[in-house]
Amino acid sequence: MKKFLLLIAIILLIPLNGFCADNVIPQNVSLKNTNTFGLYQAPDKLTLYEQPSEESHIVHSITFSGGKIFPPEIKADDLFVVFIPSKNLGLLAVSDETEEWVQVIYNNSTGAKGWLKKDDDPYRFMTWVMFYNMYGRKYGLKLLKQAPDSAKDLHTGTDDKSQVVDTINMPQKINLTVIKGNWALVSVYDIDRVPKTGYIRWRSDNGVKYYFPDIK
């Protein structure tokens, strides 16, 4: 009888742990602005200009190191889309781009923007598809809290009208295979450990994200 009660307790606890783990994105992630081109890996020192020219007015100067941001009144959630202090990694939302400059959002709450001169590293700027293909394929995806129930449907193709072959319930792991437009081909290991494969909508047509790379 004791073994039976212990087994019931374990079964009841597993879904709870799965639910908590799959609804919390690790580190700091801010997706308040949806109409953006991609992300830019911030250098340690940001000098932001009003226009894409070093002769233009400087709208902000920001530095960050070891998880600390200066000026200290700037919050990580407002400045970065992704911030991982342990890796000193900060990714900024890009709203426009020229050959030598990117326009970034430096306050996600107000939408304030500034122009940042690119450096010689061509891999600092990533479109959203490049970012998902790089980080999503490496770490897998996480379902965001605000995602609608329809985002859990696994389709046979990249169309809302395509057949739904399964539904994601409490995913333990979502492996990304490839991004196709607003859709992603994934393999899912749900709470029942039965693998499921199909296409999910990783973002809406107007850029709202439903899934995000589970960066660690």
Segment 47-56, tens digit of pLDDT:
999 999 999 9
> Is the pLDDT assigned to residue 26 strictly greater than 70?
no
Asked if 154 and 196 touch (Cβ cutoff 8 Å), the reply is yes
Question: What's the mean pLDDT when you consider all of the chain?
Answer: 85
Question: What is the per-residue pLDDT for 25?
Answer: 37
Distances (CA, A) of 10 to 17, 18, 30, 45, 216: 11, 12, 34, 49, 27
* Beta strand pairing call for 211-213 and 141-143: antiparallel
Q: Quote the pTM value.
A: 0.78
Distances (CA, A) of 33 to 106, 108, 112: 11, 7, 11
The amino acid present at 180, given as its one-letter code, is: K
Q: Cβ–Cβ contacts within 10 Å for residue 11, how many?
A: 9
Question: What is the per-residue pLDDT for 15?
Answer: 34
Q: What is the pLDDT of residues 55-86, one digit of tens each?
A: 999 999 999 987 889 999 999 989 999 888 88
Question: What is the per-residue pLDDT for 28?
Answer: 55
> Is the pLDDT assigned to residue 19 strictly greater than 50?
no
The pLDDT > 70 percentage for the chain reads: 86
